[in-house]
């Protein structure tokens, strides 16, 4: 009797467990779901740490089905810090310390909704947390002259990239059939910088390409337009020790801060990459023209002088990006909407942008899978199109 009662209890528990799991799966939103950070404690001994000295981190969602051997490694963005005070402030936030990192919502290209993200919904998804303040390029430090250790700073973005990649390779990336190194905003530049290294870390038979999402900031010819970028990248290069970490093929020809412009390193990248960005990226316009002009542009109320500057910026941008003579190795999707980043907030078919009746996610997937090599630029709109959908901000 006791044995039968125990069997009934076990059966009941099993049934309740199955029901709970099914209900959880049924109620999970495949378009948007939360992922906890994975802290890479082993990276500390390798010198790979955030600004405050805490270990780096990444967010991981495993693939499933026929996507279990495919990987997206996505370098997160979040601007830069340009001086010691700026970086010390940043070190107290999730953009400078893994101690402050929390759950992050995965969506867009990381969505598990097959109908909205058919080509990548079941891939392994990795988002590398951005906590070095310098686009994953640095290998230097700042020691406070008053011996206040709480004000010390570690600029170890390069080591963070290598350490996280090493761990993810062991998780299964080293056996990938298909793989993408993507980067958004400040993470876009390193997606080009490390594209060949990423390619060389994987089997020769793997399909490996890179994706740059709104991270191609250009060096304007007009010094008035360029002044804030020169200040910004000058500060980043000095703090991060860029002269010794960036490719000598570039730094032997120009100042290190100039090598932070993607146009000056793209020729050295042999692996195919795809650029998805607006010709009127709203971070580009904000940092170039000022905060007060940002709203004016977004509302389509620019003066004749402002509009002339926007046309000049567009012209410099289009002249700098890869040319269309080799779309197999350099694909692009250049829209005209006044927005920034798309992989998280603008990827689903419901909100994706299109050029010539081709949606951006389809353009990239066609290019990535060698179905059709897309090189698409919005030539109709030579002025910014109002941003009717505000991007989801995914900064930690």
3 domain residue, yes or no:
no
377 domain residue, yes or no:
yes
Q: Which two tokens stand for residue 338?
A: 């006044």
What's the pLDDT score for residue 28?
60
Ranges 114-123, 139-148, 286-295, 327-336: which has the least confidence: 286-295
**For the chain, how many structural domains are there in total?**
1
Residue keyed to tokens 């020729």: 267
Q: Is the backbone of residue 331 left (phi > 0), alpha (psi -120 to 50) or beta?
A: beta
Q: Cα 394–230–133 angle (5° rounding)?
A: 35
% of the chain with per-residue pLDDT over 90 = 85
Predicted confidence (pLDDT) at residue 15 exceeds the cutoff of 70: no
Q: What confidence tier does 27 reach under pLDDT thresholds 50, 70, 90?
A: low
Pairing of strands 354-355, 375-377: unpaired
Of 3 and 349, the structure prediction assigns the larger pLDDT to: 349
Q: How much helix, strand and coil, in percent to the nearest 5, is found in the chain? A: 40, 15, 40
% of the chain with per-residue pLDDT over 70 = 91
261 domain residue, yes or no:
yes
Number of continuous H segments (helices) and E segments (strands) in the chain:
12, 15
Span 329-343, average pLDDT: 96
Q: How far apart are CA 17 and CA 193, in angstroms?
A: 47
Show which residues are catalytic: 185, 281, 340
Domain that holds residue 329: 29-394
What's the pLDDT score for residue 19?
40
Predicted confidence (pLDDT) at residue 389 exceeds the cutoff of 70: no
Predicted confidence (pLDDT) at residue 395 exceeds the cutoff of 50: no
What's the pLDDT score for residue 386?
85
What's the pLDDT score for residue 292?
84
Q: How far apart are CA 243 and CA 138, in angstroms?
A: 10
CATH of the domain at 373: 3.40.50
What's the pLDDT score for residue 293?
86
- 283-296 pLDDT, tens digit each: 999 999 998 888 88
Q: How far apart are CA 30 and CA 211, in angstroms?
A: 23
CA 345 to each of CA 55, 168, 221, 295, 333: distance values in angstroms, whole numbers, following the listed order: 28, 25, 32, 20, 16
Give me the count of residues in the chain. Answer: 396
Predicted confidence (pLDDT) at residue 154 exceeds the cutoff of 50: yes
Predicted confidence (pLDDT) at residue 390 exceeds the cutoff of 90: no
55 domain residue, yes or no:
yes
- 174-193 pLDDT, tens digit each: 999 999 999 999 999 999 99
DSSP 8-state code for residue 349? T
Q: How far apart are CA 140 and CA 142, in angstroms?
A: 7
Instruction: Find the Cα–Cα–Cα–Cα dihedral 210, 95, 281, 111, rounded to 10°.
Output: 50
1 domain residue, yes or no:
no
pLDDT averaged over the chain? 92
CA 332 to each of CA 120, 213, 287, 326, 391: distance values in angstroms, whole numbers, following the listed order: 19, 10, 23, 11, 20
Predicted confidence (pLDDT) at residue 53 exceeds the cutoff of 80: yes
Displacement of CA 332 from its chain's centroid (Å): 16
Span 50-57, average pLDDT: 98
Structural contact between residues 184 and 167, judged by C-beta atoms closer than 8 angstroms = no
3-state secondary structure of 364: helix
What's the pLDDT score for residue 6?
46
Pairing of strands 207-213, 178-184: parallel
What's the pLDDT score for residue 298?
81
């Amino acid at each position: 009797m006791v044995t039968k009662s125990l069997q009934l209890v076990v059966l009941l528990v099993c049934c309740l467990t199955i029901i709970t799991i099914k209900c959880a799966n049924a109620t999970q939103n495949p378009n948007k779901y939360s992922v906890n950070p994975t802290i890479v404690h082993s990276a500390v001994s390798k010198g790979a740490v955030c600004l405050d000295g805490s270990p780096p981190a990444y967010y991981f969602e495993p693939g499933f089905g026929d996507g279990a051997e495919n990987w997206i490694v996505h370098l997160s963005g979040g601007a830069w810090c340009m001086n010691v005070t700026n970086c010390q402030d940043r070190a107290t936030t999730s953009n400078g310390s893994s101690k402050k990192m929390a759950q992050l919502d995965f969506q867009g290209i990381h969505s598990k909704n097959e109908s909205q993200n058919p080509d990548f919904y079941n891939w392994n998804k990795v988002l590398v947390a951005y906590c070095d303040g310098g686009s994953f390029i640095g290998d230097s430090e700042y020691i406070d002259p008053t011996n206040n250790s709480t004000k010390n700073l570690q600029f170890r973005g390069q080591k963070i990239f290598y350490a996280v990649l090493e761990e993810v390779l062991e998780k299964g990336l080293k056996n990938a059939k298909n793989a993408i190194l993507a980067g958004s905003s400040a993470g876009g530049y390193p997606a080009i910088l490390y594209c060949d290294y990423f390619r060389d870390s994987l089997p020769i038979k793997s399909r490996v390409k890179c994706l740059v999402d709104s991270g191609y900031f250009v060096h304007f010819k007009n010094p008035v337009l360029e002044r804030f970028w020169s200040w910004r990248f000058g500060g980043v290069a000095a703090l991060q020790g860029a002269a010794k970490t960036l490719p000598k093929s570039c730094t032997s020809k120009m100042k290190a801060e100039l090598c932070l412009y993607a146009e000056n390193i793209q020729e050295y990248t042999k692996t195919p990459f795809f650029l998805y960005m607006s010709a009127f990226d709203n971070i580009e316009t904000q940092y170039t023209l000022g905060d007060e002009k940002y709203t004016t542009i977004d509302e389509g109320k620019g003066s004749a002088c402002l509009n002339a500057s926007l046309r000049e910026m567009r012209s410099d941008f289009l002249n700098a990006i890869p040319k269309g003579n080799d779309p197999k190795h350099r694909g692009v999707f250049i829209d005209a909407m006044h927005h920034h980043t798309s992989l998280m907030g603008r990827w689903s078919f419901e909100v994706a942008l299109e050029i010539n009746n081709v949606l951006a996610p389809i353009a990239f997937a066609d290019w990535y899978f060698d179905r059709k090599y897309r090189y698409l630029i919005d030539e109709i709109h030579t002025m910014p199109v109002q941003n009717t959908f505000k991007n989801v901000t995914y900064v930690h």
